[in-house]
Structure 1
């Protein structure tokens, strides 16, 4: 059951380092970083991660707002993970 980390920052002057350190400490061997607005649902790195996640994998984020900025988007992502037999952890 691999733990797959996803770290997102909104602007170029922010660093994902604190998130990636926390994700590594949580046991994520694979971490994907993205610089994009949370309000933008069309995030290419997140899309690739969601396609890559397989049965038994767990997508891990430091905080829920790093993944989704609205409840509807969060539910959409979690439903996609469940359809693939994967899990979500924040």
Structure 2
């Protein structure tokens, strides 16, 4: 397996920031409990209200894909989608 880093960025209306933060918090513990997850940190951008960044580390792309099929991820993604003001940006990275 080849470990990957993930940085995912999304934006919501500033008025939806509190709701988005709650959705992220609800997904954090079950995501961290996944055996193929090493790091799962949802962050709020302090200089851009309504902007959130996930910093994640997974065992592989396959592990990330499996995470995206879990009930907790699907529930969060479904609830977040109507709040997004622009498309989610996902960067799948590997150290050089």
TM-score (norm 2): 0.34
Larger RCO, structures 1/2 (Cα 8 Å, 6+ apart)? 2
Which structure dedicates a bigger proportion of its chain to strand? 2
Q: Which has the larger radius of gyration?
A: 2
